[in-house]
Structure 1
Amino acid sequence: MISQNSIAQVFETARVEEVIGDFVQLKKAGSNFKGLSPFSDERTPSFMVSPVKQIWKDFSTGKGGNAVTFLMEHEHFTYPEAIKYLAKKYNIEIEETERTDEQKEAANTRESMYLVSEYANTYFQNVLHKTDKGKAIGLSYFKERGFTEETIKKFQLGYALDEWQAFSDEALKNGYNIEFLESTGLTIVKPDKHFDRFKGRVMFPIHSMSGRVLGFGGRILGNEKKAAKYLNSPESEIYHKSKVLYGLYFAKQSIAKEDNCYLVEGYTDVIQFYQTGIQNVVSSSGTALTSEQIRLINRLTNNITVLFDGDAAGMRASLRGIDLILEQGMNVRVCTFPDGEDPDSFAKSNTEAELREYLTENAKDFIQFKASVLVDEAKNDPIKKAETIRDIVNSIAKIPDQIKREVYIQECARIMDISEEVLFSTLAQISKKEMADANKSYKQEQKAFQVVKSEPKPTAKINVQYELERKIIEILLLYGATTEQFEDLVLKEDENSGELVLEPVIQEARVFEKIYLDLQEDEMQFSDEQFKTLYYSIIDKLNQDDDFSTRHFINQLDQDMATVVTNILMEDEKYNLHDWERNQITPKEKNHSIAQLVNQTILSLRCYLIDQKVLSFQQETLNENSYSKSIMEDVKDYVGLKMLLSRKLGKVIG
């Protein structure tokens, strides 16, 4: 169990914009930050972070909360894991009691798999650094590759002994379940025996964006022809190779800072670049690049530079990955290395300044690169040249932005010495064909379903009372402790005419006191149970604490209630997703008329409740099918009160 003091210190120290900034590229939007949703596939930002309120809201999925809830949603952390992650990020020492064997056993499957993976990572590092065989074989190999001791420890590299059951037996001896050793792929289990998957390999742990160990890549050091050179952990509940990029955990901050990501092929390419001084580099770990991997990068930057070695066949196969990047609306450049060189060897033999200079001078946009690769193959063959041009235009067709498409068509026309009109015509044909194929596919899907005609659904009615109660909670959270001058209209007899008139009376009070007294006066109760709970909780906090803070208040709520509060506080922030200022539109700030907002909300709620009361009287009369003088007098009184409240609201009613 983590102590309350440690939890309070974590909440006090952690900054939501810094935590989320490790996973999402955030851009300033007024007093807030905005970015692409990490929970959905989108190209227009719908994700907002409020540094003032220390909360976030994803308008595409409806999710929201504080720094802890973000980690729980995005990284699937448990609450304690999220606290520990933040403590590690901000160098806070956690006070906790040791987990018992029973607590370990009670952990859910995913958590157990993470625990096993973390244990394996520590085990392989200890073997590398603290055993004779590890030092002689594994450590020697890494040092031969040019990796320093600091780099080896940074990337948590390790070694698996060349013994059939060394790791598995040690894990079992330490209380780890064979079921999770098998499900993570660390141990291969047969009916009558078990053995280590990564026997005799140097180990590269694969981390999530937050640093959790998801799986491993292992490189064999012997010359066994039957054994694969590289072996990865199999797919599991925690490891999906198509959704992971090697090195992203170490590169994410540099990618956001440099606003560019270098994409390489292997583990050692990443490590060598990082050691040389270029840290914004990741790898797809030898697998074909996927849309999910590209979206991971897109959260941090819109720019990718793909790095290839001099292998022409490999480059041609990788052109498909470039099309995937273009489909995501990203800017892609390509850089190749001289024959016989790859990113690992080139970074090893050059200084940081030389490497940066080479990348700057040799990175081409994808049109130039694709043309150079394909034109060399076409040479003087007109048919192949025509196929090459069509191939390039096919790539341009993947780009969602129309302006970019036009610019690239112009560039292609210049490089390939062909008219823009022909290229635009070809682009239109490709787009038309894609649209026709999409329509055909859609119609085929529809045939699989029986069409049933149904009456159009009635438009959902707005729950007025719910919205007004929600507004009261919002006002209390934002302005509850603020002192305001409230103007109330009181009925007084005119000295001259003797008629009752409304006269203004000014009263100074804190917002929460005004709301509480007004609701108490009419004995009004909240209809929504969550709002009711929040209302009394906020009033209690404001009464006790002169320095009421929404940030501290949210941190003390459970996850469900924290989400409700976040949704309320961030509702209006969605308008900051649009660049109003750029269009010379300045929305009015709500705090310019807090007193008026309070009065209007309370009066509107009272009017609504009177209407509901009158309706209930009418229904009662209809049900009894009789005239009731007492009911009619009550109705008259309520209508009179409604007239008075409406005058205060400045409304005209018929």
Structure 2
Amino acid sequence: MISQQTIQQILSRIDIIEIVGSFIKLKKRGTNYLGLCPFHGEKTPSFTVSPAKEIYKCFGCGRSGNTISFIMEHEKYSYVEALRWLASKYNVEIEETAVSPEVKQQQLVADSLFILNNFARQYFTQNLFESEEGQAIGLSYLKERGFREEIMQRFQLGYCLQTRDSFAQTALAAQYSLENLQKSGLVVVRDDKPFDNYRGRIIFPVHNQTGKVIGFGARIIGKSDKAPKYINTPENEVYIKSKILYGTYFARQAIDKYDECLLVEGYTDVISLHQAGIENVVASGGTSLTMDQLRLIKKYTKNLTIIYDGDAAGVKAALRGLDMALEEGLNVKLVLIPDKEDPDSYVNKVGAASFREFIDKNKKDFILFQLDVQLKDVGNDANKKATLVNQVAETIAKINKLEDFTKQQDYIKKCAEILRIEEGGLVNLVNKFIREKIAKEEAKNQPVDPAQQYQQYEENSMQGAASDYSDETFNLIFKDEMQEKALLKILLEHGMKEWDKNQKIAEYIFNSDIVEEMIENQTVTKILHMYRDMLAQHLEVSDKDFIFSQENDVSTLVVSILNSPYELSERWLAEKQVFSVLEQGFRKYMNIEYKHKPLQKEEKTFRDDVLSTLQYLKLKKIKHLMEQNLNDLEANNTYQKFLELLPPHLHIKDMEMEITKMTGIVFKKL
């Protein structure tokens, strides 16, 4: 874990204009900066960055956050990865909290492998573009395949010389240990002598999500009956094959932009499609998909389109991993390239536009495609059909997330029609597989958490019930939410200012007896608790304490509250002041009574805001009490009970009238 001291050093050096400006062009507009949003396509700038508050907000798509969340969102980094990126940029030495000796040793080995891999990557790239052998063999081969130099540079392709130990000797001379050279797969030892493992091959560096080289794929040039076509890095502390998808680092932003991930098999498929302008593509390396790889895809999108060769082997490869994809809640489509073609050759043959058109027209639903393929083998064989029905039911049962219930029911209906069986029978069979799965989980001492399922069920039920609210009810709830956020905005912007000689505004608010018990938004309540705890510790509370909170809901809410799409210019304020003076003089000259409040200073304004917001919240509480009391009156129709409940109701009504007079609110009964 990164220490809090390191995090504070990073935060103290962050310049949001510098960071965001390194990704998009920003233009100063008043006290803020404006640019085209990097998260959605737009022609008119609506992306606003506030250097004073160190936050950004897009008033087009709604994305907002701080410098760290910008890096996380734009680069698809985790919180820790974003911190490490910023630490590297600002030369902050990262201090880790206490870890076990074993973990520390593993981290040291991982860091050594990262450094070694980067050294190797530079060595191989230099060989490809600068050595005679690299240019004559490696570069000419890649150009024959149709790759341009700029795409080779982008993916950092390289070449390993045919000399048996050229790289090994270079690395050893640079003080890299033989142990790490073997662990990385770059060097093998035979007869106590080190040899280059990838000699005479094209080198494809494999990057992690932050762009670090974690391993290599090495492709033989031409054909060889003895040597394998590809040699890949063996698993080590940084290269775990089941968690890697080639090209993720280069595709992450395009996947987010198009909300779709295209999955192919090989390195050259990825590079060819990127060269053609199709960048939301990654490769599985020709192996079956793993759960970790599917979760990596889900980090960027829920829409997965698998593109494989159209031969029998390609179909079989495409169907592997289907059940796991369904369990992860991915929307999976399949596209088969025409026979004897692969994505690399096909995009070069038809061009980018036609390739995209082919993909869009030929996407097939994974489950229905699987059913169609297997039906062709069934024919009129009743036993084979029964086996197929069981297979289909077991596959549909994998769609086990509550939010995908409708999708599951839709598959049952469609598959029952295709198979020409009763829908109810297929429902029963699907439920049977679901029960068996739960039983297996219980047998492994990993029971399904019923409380968690019930909570998810309730959340979905609430979402489904949202349409049952009338417009009037929704507006009332929204208004309450606005008052809660208004109170929080006052605390964030003015909480440390003086209310009177004895207390600050924040203390005045927390000393009132009506605040937290009336707040319904859980995140607002959480922030109020955090604020009050810091006050109790006599800390100087700043909005940045919440803007840079590690709790995403806190940071997101605070940024949205502090952002405003409008900004008053100094010229407008000056003109308004002049107009106000002229207006007052005119009214005095004409002997007209001045009924409007004169312009107030900022201090007076936020004091009024505090009082007004607290009065609104009081009114909210009173209205809830009135509703509860009215319900009690309606539920108890005895005269004695009526007499008991009437005085409290009249008292509450008097309180409401008093507050409405103070706030100037008028309620109309429609």
Give the shorter-chain TM-score range: 0.5 to 0.7
1:139 maps onto 2:139 in alignment: yes
How far did 1:399 drift? 0.9
- CA-atom RMSD, angstroms? 5.0
Report the TM-score when normalising by structure 1. Answer: 0.60
**Residue 12 to residue 164, structure 1, CA distance change in 2 (3 Å):** same
How far did 1:122 drift? 1.3
1:54 maps onto 2:66 in alignment: yes
Alignment partner, residue 445 of structure 2: 442
**Residue 568 to residue 403, structure 1, CA distance change in 2 (3 Å):** closer
Q: Is the 8 A contact 2:491 2:505 kept in 1?
A: no
- What does 1:133-172 correspond to in 2, within 5 Å? 133-172=133-172
3-state SS, counterpart of residue 299 of structure 1: helix
Cα distance in 2 for residues equivalent to 1:68 and 1:281:
20
Cα distance in 2 for residues equivalent to 1:420 and 1:55:
52
- What does 1:522-537 correspond to in 2, within 5 Å? 531=534, 535-536=538-539
Cα distance in 2 for residues equivalent to 1:441 and 1:358:
45
- CA deviation digits over 1:156-187, x for unaligned, max 9? 11111112211121122233333432332222
Alignment partner, residue 425 of structure 1: 428
- What does 1:44-443 correspond to in 2, within 5 Å? 54=66, 67=71, 74=78, 81-84=85-88, 108-189=108-189, 192-400=192-400, 401-442=404-445
How far did 1:234 drift? 0.9
How far did 1:216 drift? 0.7
Cα distance in 1 for residues equivalent to 2:552 and 2:264:
40
- CA deviation digits over 1:355-378, x for unaligned, max 9? 111111111111331122212222
Letter in 1 for 2:492: L
Q: Is the 8 A contact 1:157 1:204 kept in 2?
A: yes
**Residue 237 to residue 554, structure 1, CA distance change in 2 (3 Å):** farther
Letter in 1 for 2:420: D
Alignment partner, residue 13 of structure 1: 18
Cα distance in 2 for residues equivalent to 1:16 and 1:224:
50
How far did 1:281 drift? 0.9
Cα distance in 2 for residues equivalent to 1:73 and 1:346:
33
- What does 1:492-531 correspond to in 2, within 5 Å? 511=505, 531=534
Cα distance in 2 for residues equivalent to 1:554 and 1:290:
38
- CA deviation digits over 1:206-262, x for unaligned, max 9? 111221111111111254433221111111111111111111111111111111111
3-state SS, counterpart of residue 349 of structure 1: helix
- CA deviation digits over 1:507-543, x for unaligned, max 9? 8997479899xxxxxxxxxxx9x959985565xxx8x
Q: How many pairs were matched up?
A: 468
Q: Is the 8 A contact 2:75 2:252 kept in 1?
A: no
**Residue 224 to residue 145, structure 1, CA distance change in 2 (3 Å):** same
Cα distance in 1 for residues equivalent to 2:258 and 2:613:
45
Q: Is the 8 A contact 1:55 1:566 kept in 2?
A: no
**Residue 110 to residue 411, structure 1, CA distance change in 2 (3 Å):** same
Which range is displaced more, 8-17 or 259-268? 8-17
Cα distance in 2 for residues equivalent to 1:319 and 1:591:
65
Cα distance in 2 for residues equivalent to 1:392 and 1:254:
34
3-state SS, counterpart of residue 161 of structure 2: coil
Alignment partner, residue 478 of structure 1: 492
Cα distance in 2 for residues equivalent to 1:334 and 1:178:
45
Letter in 2 for 1:440: A
**Residue 512 to residue 426, structure 1, CA distance change in 2 (3 Å):** closer
**Residue 133 to residue 537, structure 1, CA distance change in 2 (3 Å):** farther
Q: Is the 8 A contact 2:39 2:257 kept in 1?
A: no
Letter in 1 for 2:253: Q
How far did 1:131 drift? 0.7
How far did 1:388 drift? 2.3
Letter in 1 for 2:353: A
How far did 1:480 drift? 4.5
Letter in 2 for 1:142: L
Letter in 2 for 1:14: I
3-state SS, counterpart of residue 108 of structure 1: helix
Alignment partner, residue 515 of structure 2: none
Cα distance in 2 for residues equivalent to 1:434 and 1:252:
34
Which range is displaced more, 436-445 or 200-209? 436-445
Alignment partner, residue 603 of structure 1: none
Cα distance in 2 for residues equivalent to 1:592 and 1:182:
71
**Residue 414 to residue 327, structure 1, CA distance change in 2 (3 Å):** same
Report the TM-score when normalising by structure 2. Answer: 0.59
3-state SS, counterpart of residue 203 of structure 1: strand
Higher relative CO (Cα under 8 Å, sequence separation at least 6) belongs to 1
Cα distance in 2 for residues equivalent to 1:298 and 1:68:
15
Q: Is the 8 A contact 1:266 1:286 kept in 2?
A: yes
Alignment partner, residue 449 of structure 1: none
Q: Is the 8 A contact 2:117 2:213 kept in 1?
A: yes
How far did 1:422 drift? 2.4
Letter in 1 for 2:19: A
Letter in 2 for 1:230: Y
Cα distance in 2 for residues equivalent to 1:79 and 1:227:
43
Alignment partner, residue 587 of structure 2: none
Cα distance in 2 for residues equivalent to 1:111 and 1:533:
42
Q: Is the 8 A contact 2:72 2:79 kept in 1?
A: no
Give ranges in structure 2 of 5+ residues lacking alignment.
1-8, 25-37, 41-45, 48-60, 94-104, 449-487, 511-530, 562-605, 616-670
**Residue 326 to residue 130, structure 1, CA distance change in 2 (3 Å):** same
Cα distance in 2 for residues equivalent to 1:356 and 1:247:
19
Cα distance in 1 for residues equivalent to 2:551 and 2:443:
46
3-state SS, counterpart of residue 194 of structure 1: strand
**Residue 534 to residue 311, structure 1, CA distance change in 2 (3 Å):** farther
Cα distance in 2 for residues equivalent to 1:129 and 1:377:
52
Q: Is the 8 A contact 2:76 2:252 kept in 1?
A: no
Letter in 1 for 2:66: Q
Q: Is the 8 A contact 1:310 1:336 kept in 2?
A: yes
How far did 1:307 drift? 1.1
Q: Is the 8 A contact 1:17 1:50 kept in 2?
A: no
Cα distance in 2 for residues equivalent to 1:304 and 1:320:
14
How far did 1:418 drift? 2.6
Alignment partner, residue 62 of structure 1: none
- CA deviation digits over 1:481-521, x for unaligned, max 9? 6757x4x7xxxxxxxxxxxxxxxxxx8997479899xxxxx
**Residue 412 to residue 403, structure 1, CA distance change in 2 (3 Å):** same
**Residue 152 to residue 534, structure 1, CA distance change in 2 (3 Å):** farther
Cα distance in 2 for residues equivalent to 1:75 and 1:194:
40
**Residue 326 to residue 77, structure 1, CA distance change in 2 (3 Å):** closer
